[in-house]
A and B are shown apart, each in its own frame.
Chain A
Amino acid sequence: MQLTTLMLIPLVGAIAVFLLPAAKETLAKQVALAVSIVTAIDAIRLALSLDNSSGAIQFVEKHEWIPAFGISWSLGIDGIAGLLIAMATILVPLIIVAGWWDAENSGRGTVKGFFALILALEVCMIGVFAATDLFLFYVFFEVMLLPVYFLIGRFGGAQRSYAAMKFLLYSLVGGLFMLASLIGLYVVSARTLGQGTFDFVTLTGLHMDAGTQKTLFLGFFFAFAVKAPMVPFHTWLPDAAAEATPGTSTLLVGVLDKVGTFGMIRYLLPIFPDASHYYAPIIIVLACISIFYGALLAIGQTDMMRLIAFSSVSHFGFIVLGIFVFSSQGLAGSSFYMINHGFSTGALFLVVGYLASRRGSKKISDFGGVSKVAPVLAGVLLISGLSSLALPGMSSFVSEFLVLIGTFSENRVAANIATVGIVLAAFYILWMYQRVATGEPSEEVNSTVSEINKRELVAIVPILAAIIALGIFPQAALKYINPAVSDLQKYVSVVDPTPAFGALTEGIGS
Chain B
Amino acid sequence: MTAALIGLPLFGATVLLLGGRRTNAWGHYFAVAMSASSFFVGVATFMSMLGRSAEDRTIETHLFDWIAVGSFQVPFGLQIDQLSIAFVLLITGVGTLIHIYSIGYMAHDENRRKFFAYLNLFVAAMLLLVLANNYFLLYVGWEGVGLASYLLISFWQHKPSAAVAGKKAFVVNRVGDVGLSLAVMLMFVTFGTVTFSGVSAAAGNGDATSLKLIGFALLLAACGKSAQFPLQSWLLDAMEGPTPVSALIHAATMVTAGVYLIVRAHAIFDLSETARTAVVVIGAITLLLGAFIGTAKDDIKKGLAGSTMSQIGYMILAAGLGPVGYVFAIFHLLTHGMFKAGLFLGAGSVMHGVNDDVNMRHYGALRGAMKITYVTFGLGFLAIIGIPPFAGFWSKDEIIKVAFEQNTLVGLCTLVGAGVTAFYMTRMMTMTFFGEARWEKDVHPHESPSTMTIPMIILAVGSAFGGLLLLFVGDIEAWLEPVTGFATSTEAGGMAWLMPTTLLVIAAGVAYAWNTYGRRPVPVVAPAEVSLLTRAARNDAYGDAINEAIFMRPGLHLTRALVWFDTKGIDGFIGGFAALIGGLSARGRKLQNGYARSYALTMLGGAALIAFVLYLVRL
Contact = CB atoms under 8 A, between A and B. Distances in A.
Interface of A: 165, 168-169, 172-173, 176-177, 179-181, 183-184, 187-188, 212, 215-216, 219, 232, 235, 293, 296-297, 299-301, 327-329, 332-333, 369, 371-372, 376, 386, 391-393, 397-398, 401-402, 404-405, 408-409, 415-416, 419-420, 422-423, 426-427, 430-431, 433-434, 437-440, 472-475, 478, 482, 485, 496-504, 506-510
Contact of A439 (B158, B598, B617): B158
Nearest to B181: A419
Contacts of A408: 185-186, 188-189
29 contacts: A169-B598, A173-B602, A173-B605, A176-B606, A176-B609, A180-B610, A180-B612, A187-B619, A215-B616, A232-B570, A297-B563, A299-B559, A329-B72, A372-B158, A386-B147, A434-B163, A437-B157, A438-B162, A474-B67, A475-B67, A498-B71, A500-B207, A502-B190, A502-B191, A502-B202, A503-B192, A508-B68, A508-B75, A509-B77
Interface stretch (B88-96, B166-174, B262-270, B367-375): B166-174
A217 to B, nearest CB: 12
B613 A434 contact: no
Contacts of A420: 178
A426 B175 CA distance: 10
Given A438-B157, A508-B75, A329 B205 contact: no
Given A333-B69, A402-B69, A509-B77, A177 B609 contact: yes
* Residue with the greatest number of chain B CB neighbours at <10 A, chosen from A169, A173, A328, A438: A438
A398 B66 CA distance: 10
Given A184-B616, A235-B566, A504 B167 contact: no
Interface in B192-220: 192-193, 195, 197-198, 201-202, 205-207, 210
B614 A300 contact: no
Contact of A180 (B71, B175, B193, B609): B609
B184 A496 contact: no
A172 B170 CA distance: 42
Contact of B158 (A219, A333, A426, A438): A438
A176 B598 CA distance: 13
Given A165-B595, A391-B143, A438-B160, 13 more contacts: A179-B610, A180-B606, A299-B559, A301-B563, A393-B140, A393-B144, A401-B136, A404-B181, A496-B70, A502-B190, A503-B191, A506-B193, A509-B195
B189 A187 contact: no
Contact of B171 (A328, A430, A510): A430
Given A409-B188, A496-B70, A501 B202 contact: yes
B170 A430 contact: yes
B185 A504 contact: no
Interface residues of B, number: 85
A423 B192 contact: no
A391, A472, A498, A508 interface centre (most CB from chain B within 10 Å): A508
B617 A419 contact: no
B226 interface: no
A188 B614 CA distance: 10
Closest 8 CB pairs of A and B: A499-B192, A502-B192, A328-B70, A176-B606, A438-B163, A300-B559, A501-B205, A392-B140
Question: Interface SS of chain B: helix, strand, loop or mixed?
Answer: helix
Nearest to B69: A332
Contacts of B571: 235
Interface in B565-619: 566, 570-571, 574, 578, 595, 598-599, 602-603, 605-606, 609-610, 612-614, 616-617, 619
A296 B559 contact: yes
Given A183-B614, A297-B566, A423-B175, A235 B574 contact: yes
Contacts of A397: 140
A128 to B, nearest CB: 20
B359 interface: no
A183 B619 CA distance: 11
Contacts of B175: 423
Contacts of A509: 60, 62, 65, 75, 77, 195
A359 B80 CA distance: 51
Contact of B174 (A172, A426, A439): A426
B182 interface: yes
A343 B158 CA distance: 30
B189 to A, nearest CB: 5
A335 B583 CA distance: 43
Contact of A369 (B154, B158, B174, B560): B158
Nearest to A427: B171
A499 B188 contact: yes
A418 B191 CA distance: 22
Contacts of B566: 235, 297
Nearest to A410: B189
A296 B578 CA distance: 27
Nearest to B616: A215
B613 A181 contact: yes
A391 B148 CA distance: 12
Contact of A392 (B142, B195, B605): B142
B107 interface: no
Nearest to A301: B563
Contacts of B192: 498-499, 502-504
A495 B411 CA distance: 51
A234 B333 CA distance: 51
Contacts of B185: 404-405, 408-409, 415
Given A415-B185, A423-B175, A508 B613 contact: no
B23 interface: no
A184 B160 contact: no
Given A165-B595, A503-B201, A439 B182 contact: no
Contacts of B207: 500-501
B83 to A, nearest CB: 20
Contacts of B143: 391-393
A398 to B, nearest CB: 6
A184 to B, nearest CB: 5
Nearest to B599: A172
B219 to A, nearest CB: 16
Contacts of B164: 434
A475 B193 CA distance: 18
Interface string B457-475: 0000000000000000000
Given A177-B609, A180-B606, A496 B71 contact: yes
B44 interface: no
B139 interface: yes
Given A215-B613, A420-B178, A510-B198, A499 B190 contact: yes
Contacts of A404: 181, 185
A183 B616 CA distance: 12
Contact of A188 (B66, B578, B617): B617
B412 interface: no
A464 B190 CA distance: 36
B73 interface: yes
A475 B66 contact: yes
A329 B198 contact: no
A481 to B, nearest CB: 8
Q: Which of A183, A301, A402, A405 has the most CB of B within 10 A?
A: A405
A501 B69 CA distance: 20
A472 to B, nearest CB: 8
B617 A215 contact: yes
A127 B563 CA distance: 37
B150, B175, B192 interface centre (most CB from chain A within 10 Å): B192
Given A184-B614, A393-B144, A438-B157, A508 B65 contact: yes
B177 interface: yes
A181 B67 CA distance: 38
B558 interface: yes
Interface in B114-172: 136, 139-140, 142-144, 147, 150, 154, 157-158, 160, 162-164, 167, 170-171
Nearest to A503: B202
B524 interface: no
Given A297-B566, A409-B189, A478 B619 contact: no
